[in-house]
Amino acid sequence: MNNLLFCSVGRRGRLLRNVKETIGKTGLLVGTDNQSTAPALQFCDRQYVVPRITAPGYIDEILRICKENDIKAVTTLIDPEIEILAANTERFREAGVIPLCPAPKSAIYCFNKYELFKYLTEKGIRTPLTFHDLDEFKKALDEGRISFPVFMKPVCGSGSVGAHKVHTLEQAEADWNSGEHDYIIQELMTGGDCDADVYVDTISHKAVAAFSKRKIETRIGGASKTISFKDPKLFEFIEKICSVFEFNGPLDMDFFIKDGEYYLSEINPRFGGAYLHAYGAGVDFIKLIVNNINGIENPVNIGDYEDDVLMLMYDDVVIAKASELVDTNFTLI
């Protein structure tokens, strides 16, 4: 059976519906969250309420669930859990479970934006100029290597929390010293942006599928309207990026465009919020996961989709009786 475990499912109900469409009766979809009222749990064949990811024994509980349900592959839908799964890669493999997450070092690079900048620079991968030292930033200003406006965001943030444009040194110093976040400062990229959903085969460790899209509209934390496009130059860049990391499974990559070249902004080594677009356009990562579960190496098939396919997100709800929840002990506010 192709049983899959999705951790910290939260609100990602449509994604899990798509997973079920693909695996059908060939496997079970098992989901966890620390709240029984997480909407996406309602789309799972089996549901578990688990402690917070930082709780002692959390991974022991996830491994217990894997054993109880004969899980073949595990992933998470939130950034902070990626490093936790990555740090326990060997424990999952010993239990016969494929961890759909990076190797530990690659996970650290993806979550810490300054470490990512340093590593990409070392490997010759284009990325926005980034500072994690205010004095170094001021020196670069004096030398003309960077100019206002610039972009500030938390070094380990996610979901665009704390990210904002800064127009003056006075504002930069005030925000830096506010203590609200541990910031990085980046050059402001104004030539446009795009992103790509990428699948790295767990056997060959090569990028075997990629779906690129431009944003039409963005809400907090991600794109809500996108349109597909294809560019061989971007696909080559994606393959080069993947060759210097140790990835396994789905990735969400963000890019900027400057002087006709792509610059890597961020990598989220999980299913991106707009992966729904890729799935709707026929780029089905779940099929690739199932192949890997069964020992089948996926061939490289990057860019196998149509241009100009739109994704238009809208709101939806889950209606359920309280008695149907896996844990009815929830708090009213």
> How distant is the alpha carbon of residue 131 from its chain centre?
23
pLDDT tens figures, 203-221: 999 999 999 999 999 886 6
Residue 262 pLDDT more than 80?
A: yes
What pLDDT score does 221 carry?
65
| Position 160 pLDDT exceeds 80 | no
Between the CA of residue 30 and those of 27, 50, 75, what are the distances in Å? 10, 13, 11
Mean pLDDT score of the chain: 96
DSSP secondary structure letters along 68-125: HTT--EEEESSHHHHHHHHHTHHHHHHTT-EE-S--HHHHHHHH-HHHHHHHHHHTT-
Mean pLDDT calculated for residue range 158-163: 80
- 242, 198 contact by CB (below 8 A): yes
29 DSSP β-pair partners? 4
- Token readout for 190 is 């104004």
The identity of residue 63, as a single letter, is L
CA–CA dist 242, 246 (Å, integer):
7
Q: For residue range 2-42, what is the model confidence (pLDDT) as tens digits?
A: 999 999 999 999 999 999 999 999 999 999 999 999 999 99
301-318 residue pLDDT tens: 999 999 999 999 999 999
CA nearest neighbour of 310 among 284, 262, 286, 278: 278
CB atoms within 10 A of CB 290: 19
Tokens of 93: 């493999």
Ordered strands of the 164-166 beta sheet: 130-131, 183-187, 150-154, 164-166
Chain segment 56-95, per-residue pLDDT in tens:
999 999 999 999 999 999 999 999 999 999 999 999 999 9
Sheet with 193-200, strands from edge to edge, namely 261-268, 249-258, 193-200, 207-219, 222-229, 310-312
32 or 160: which carries more pLDDT confidence? 32
Reported as a single tens digit per residue, the pLDDT across 321-332 is 998 898 887 878
